[in-house]
Each structure stands twice: as C-alpha cells, then as structure tokens.
Amino acid sequence: MFRSVLPYFACVSLFLHLALVIQIRLWTGKGILAIVDPCHVLALAAALPLPAWSLAGKQKFHYKEFLHLSLHRSSWLLLAPLLTPPVPVITAPPCTLCPEGAHRFQWIRNLVPEFGISSSHVKVLSSPAEFYELLKVQIKAAKQRMVMASLYLGTGLLEQELVYCLEEALEKSLQAKGSSDLRVSILLDYTRGSRGRKNSRTMLIPLLQRFPEQVRVSLFHTPNLRGLLRLLIPERFNETIGLQHIKVYLFDDNVILSGANLSDLYFTNRQDRYVLLRDSPEIADFFTELVDAIGDVSLQLQQDDTVQMMEGMVHPYQGDKVAYCEIAKRRVMEVINSARTRQELLHAKTFHGSQPGSSLLPQQGSQASGSLKPEPDTWIYPLIQMKPFGIQIDEMVTETLLTEAERDARIYLTTGYFNLTQAYMDLILGTRAEYRILLASPEVNGFFGAKGVAGAIPAAYVYIEQQFYSEVCCLQQQERVQLQEYSRAGWTFHAKGKVPLIPRGLGQRWVRAVHLDCKRSKGLAGCQSGLNLQNTPPRFKQ
C-alpha cells in the first residue's frame, strides 16, 4: 500500500521546524557545536536557493568551479521552491563575560531565545526502546504538565500502552487531591492523525471523555489545503500539501527533543535521535507556550470525534487565509519574543551580576528550595520554521552557519532522506570546511520494498545522492566532502540533523563509506549500481 512519501518533498510541505544549536564546553576546554534537529533535514529543502554567483565573491571560486555549479543542477531539486532571500542576520557584540567559545553563536539570540544549561542535564538516548521506556517513566512521574507534540499517534499495542499510562497518571492525580492539577496537551497533525478509521483521534477520544477538564487534543490543519484542493485530493495524498512536524515531549521540567513520532516503528527498530534535557524549567516553559500557541490556531478534538476552532479564532481552511496566517504568525512570534526578553534578562543576571558567584542561579522545578544551578556550559537555540506564516528562522540560521564555516571546521550532517536544495549543496561545495554526511542506505529507507510508486523512492534518493557526489568528484573534493550510509538489517534510519559526532545510538558498526565512479551512468533505473558501497571502517568517531 502506498505510504506517505510525498510529504517529504518540501516544495509542498509545511513543517514547524525546530532545531537546537548546542555548544558544550567539555572538560578539555574545547567547544563542541551541535545542531540537534527534531525534524527532517529534508524540511530544510524550503531554504533559500542562493545563486552560485553570490558565493563566488565570498569564497573566491575558481571560474570552472563557478561555471560547473551554475550549470549542473539536479532535475529532482527543481522541486524546491524559489524563495526570496531572508533578512540578513545582524550580529550583536560578543559577551566577553560568557564562557569561552559561547560568543561564537550569540548572534542567534537576535532571532530566538538563548537557553543556558549545564551539560550534566543533557543526555543523548541510544535506542528506540530506551526512548519508549523513558516516555512511560516520565508519563507516570509527571505531576503538573505533560506536553506531547508529534506528527501522529499510532494505533498499535505499544501506542495503546502509552495511552493507558496517560490514563493511569490522570486517574492517580485525581485520586490524590480530588481535583487534578495535572494538565495534558497533545498536538498532532490533522490530516495524518485522521488517516483511516482507526487513527490518532480514535486512540485519544477515551481520554477526552474521561478527563475533559485535564486533556486537550489539538489538530493542526495547514491553511494551504482548502477549497477544491481539499475536496479532490484523496487521503494520504492530502498530506503532501502541508504538515505539523514538531516532535517534543515534556513532562514537568524534563524535555525530550526528537525526530521520532509516537508510533511502534519508532519504539522498536527505527533509529532516530533523542535528547533529554533534565530539570530545565525555562526550556519546558518555552515549549509549553509554543505548543499552546500552535494549539490555539488548530482544530480542537471533541469527545464525539468532531473538531472545532476556539471561539473567535479564524478557521484554517474555511476562513480567510491571509487573516488566519497573520494571526498564527503573531501568536507564535509572541511566544518567541517574550521568551527572548526573559532569557536576555536572565543572561544579564547570570554573567553580568555584580556579586561574586552571581553566575549561579537558584534552582527551580524539582530541586530542593535554595539549591543552586551549576554554571551553564550548554547553549540551546530553538529554531522555528513555518513558511506559510512567514516564519523562516531555521533556514536563515542554517544558511548563515554553512556560509560562515571556517576552513578548519568540520560539519556533520545526518539525514534519512537526501534531498538538500541546490542552495545548500552549493554552500557545501563552495565553503572550505570539511563535511561528513551520513544518510540512509536504500535498504534502510522506510519505503524500500514498498509497492507502487513508493517503492521507487529509495532509488530516487540514491539518484540525487549520486548527482551530488558527481559534483564532489568533478571538483576533486572527495577528501573534504565524504558520504556514508547507515545500513543495518531489519532497521530503518530516521535521524536528521547537524551534529559534531554520531551519538552512540546510531551504531558505528552500521555505517559504511560511499564511493562513486563518476564515469558510470546516472540513469535512475541503474542508479543503485552506480554506487560502490564498501564496508570500509567508518570515518566518524565517537
């Protein structure tokens, strides 16, 4: 059966794109830059296609290199939309009192809030099973709030057990006090969450019926799917028009950022990434407010499986589109800007206080009253991308990071779906930084072996990969730009992001180097044979 493949083509997709830039100063004193990306790198395919000539001046391209980049364009990449250039980022003067290396990314706080926490509060999970067990543990332990945002909730036994855990936690909270202080907010995508007779909605309705005052289920509906388009496009295919794609799971002051959906595949044998931020009330508050804001402009699930908008809110596909988008943008930007203001004040208090030891702040949340937070050495910047609303922060920051990469820098990119825009490909080929790109082998692509059109998707991604690597070869950049594939029997690969190392959960032993004979045919039918995949020792280091 055809699976939802086309949503991954960003030319028609809406993603609420969240990314985190984390810089951790290790005991060695060296900084590590990591962008932990809870959404598809493919979602970045809505980024600015910067003309090759604009890079030529900055990077001092050789004429032949420039001509090659200008003329060799992937036909598949024509799917990416042509966008207007983003507003240039204005960098603020560096903070001389901040920890070593932190000032390098402080320009990002001109756009989004900056959160400083201790690296001791950051944990990278290693497996789908660990992610699933942590979800259950956190649900049972939550006392005040649970916020779960995902593309959809599956309908299998593992997903049903999660719902039972939610029900048990709510019941326990009621019995303890007579009236529950626990609030549960769930945000899903409308089209994906409504697919089929048994779906995310039917899984959650029992919670709404039993705990109507404590549970809220919001279903985001893209404003681009409306009118005849909405009536004519069948189920599954309608998901190509736009999706809510954020994945964040928070429980009181603990936050899990991931690319994993709430589905059995992501709990068993689909390798993704999962970052736990413990005892982080400011970050938890921000994501709570963000999900609430998106929930306010979404359809609200009712106990009888109907949906309705909040009173006074413009409808996403029945109301005026421009008015709806303006309201949604204003609502989301209010959250971002208010958090920015709070964090700037906290930053000033942390690093510019007059008293000795002012860099230690009172601990909030679950810690005992009067205890102190350790000095922050990890910096988190949540990046948001909602292009239909005119919010394009993620692509702006990503492009700047790639453009300003230094000669001795090393950038790691991971993606389950290799479909970078020509703009990002040009940046990779035009800068002097080293790139290590990890992608899914055809065998671990979720569409491998599928029937119909979906079965051709792995070959299509290999074709795009081959075209890109051909350019690498023609420019003789094989040592600077290296590709590797994740290959593990019985598993699929879903990890996307920009990281300095492969987390242990990605499994070094399942990574293989990719070598390409540039003289071979680039035809789609034989694209897989054009790649010489060898089980050589991986170049990624733990």
d(CA 165, CA 169): 6
Look up residue 229 and give its two tokens.
């388009």
Q: Identify the residue whose tokens are 């080293």.
A: 434
At position 82, the amino acid (one-letter code) is L
Q: How far is CA 252 from CA 73, 151, 303, 379, in A?
A: 48, 22, 26, 21
| Phi and psi based region of residue 101 (left: phi greater than 0; alpha: psi -120 to 50; beta: remaining) | left
Give the helix/strand (H/E) hosting 251: strand 248-251
Look up residue 21 and give its two tokens.
């830039």
Spell out the residues 6+ positions from residue 394 whose beta carbon is closer than 8 angstroms to its own.
17, 18, 19, 43, 44, 383, 384, 385
d(CA 370, CA 439): 47
Q: Is residue 478 helix, strand or coil?
A: coil
User: Angle CA(149)–CA(150)–CA(156) in degrees, nearest 5?
Assistant: 125
Task: Establish whether 252 is a catalytic residue.
Answer: yes
The one catalytic residue in 40, 221, 247, 347 is 247
Give the helix/strand (H/E) hosting 435: strand 434-440
SS3 per-residue string spanning 95-107: CCCCCCCHHHHHH
Which DSSP string corresponds to 501-524?
A: S--GGG-GGGEEEEEE-TTS---S
Task: Establish whether 347 is a catalytic residue.
Answer: no
Task: Establish whether 498 is a catalytic residue.
Answer: no
d(CA 411, CA 278): 27
The one catalytic residue in 37, 189, 252, 377 is 252
d(CA 151, CA 249): 12
Q: Phi and psi (nearest 5°) for 310? A: -65, 150
Burial of residue 355 (number of CB atoms within 10 Å: 0-12, 13-18, 19+): exposed
Q: Is residue 463 helix, strand or coil?
A: helix
The one catalytic residue in 17, 121, 245, 373 is 245
d(CA 481, CA 472): 7
SS3 per-residue string spanning 25-76: ECCCCCEEEEEECCCCHHHHHHCCCCCHHHHHHHHCCCHHHHHHHHHCCCCH
Q: How far is CA 225 from CA 45, 230, 319, 411, in A?
A: 20, 5, 12, 37
- Write out the catalytic residue numbers: 245, 247, 252
